[in-house]
A and B are shown apart, each in its own frame.
Chain A
């Protein structure tokens, strides 16, 4: 069964901490994405990557960075966590042509206190 795995389901961090969210896929997908999900706003794209070491900003990249050193792994980094980054974070992957949809991970609920 193909999978996108996010390392943590729940995470509590303090304001100002550097936070790493990890995502691994085993489908040999070219594209990987990080979304933020908030009630009433749907999913908003933070960053995506179409190849190793490549990244593109999405709609809301401020306060975030990403790293893709290997094809299967895509990390989201909160350089200095703030309370307004408390949210659900979803990782997804897709084939190069995205037309068959995305495969999502189970999400990480991050709370910044």
Chain B
């Protein structure tokens, strides 16, 4: 079974600085999808970024980018120029084929003014 591990329960960063959230996963599959979701205090989970495992190029969405290391089974999220609105829980997720999406336990990120 696929598992997703987020080893940092909590992190903090100063406004305007860069922070990296870690995620590792375990799978024997070759083609799969990885996601980062953000859950702000308002609670609605929103998709931040998505990576297709067969693509070598790292996905980027504005200030959010990933470092996808397929051999190491690592999928970290980098937030550049952190803003107060980035304060949230961040969940890493793994999807293979049409199976259940597997989520990590989450990292609580606080952006400090």
Q: How many residues of A contact B (CB 8 A)?
A: 22
- Which residues of the partner chain B approach A102 to less than 8 Å between Cβ atoms? 45, 47, 101
- Which residues of the partner chain B approach A92 to less than 8 Å between Cβ atoms? 45
**Chain B positions near chain A (C-beta within 8 angstroms):** 4, 9, 33, 35, 37, 42-47, 50, 52, 91, 95, 98, 100-101, 103-106
Known contacts A41-B105, A42-B104, A43-B103: does B95 contact A106 (CB below 8 Å)?
Answer: no
Query: Total contacts A to B, CB within 8 angstroms?
Result: 45
Interface of A is mostly: mixed
C-alpha spacing A53/B91, complex, angstroms: 30
- Which residues of the partner chain A approach B101 to less than 8 Å between Cβ atoms? 45, 98, 102
Q: Looking across the interface, which residue of chain B has its beta carbon closest to that of A40?
A: B105
**Chain A positions near chain B (C-beta within 8 angstroms):** 40-43, 45, 48, 58-59, 88, 90, 92, 97-107
Q: Looking across the interface, which residue of chain A has its beta carbon closest to that of B92?
A: A42
User: Of A45, A48, A104, A105, which is in contact with the most chain B CB atoms at under 10 Å from its CB?
Assistant: A104
Is the beta-carbon distance between A104 and B42 smaller than 8 angstroms?
no
Of the residues B9, B37, B91, B98, contact of A40 by C-beta under 8 Å:
B9
Of the residues B37, B44, B50, B52, contact of A106 by C-beta under 8 Å:
B44
Of the residues B9, B43, B98, contact of A98 by C-beta under 8 Å:
B98
C-alpha spacing A92/B50, complex, angstroms: 17
Known contacts A104-B44, A104-B45, A106-B42: does B100 contact A45 (CB below 8 Å)?
Answer: yes
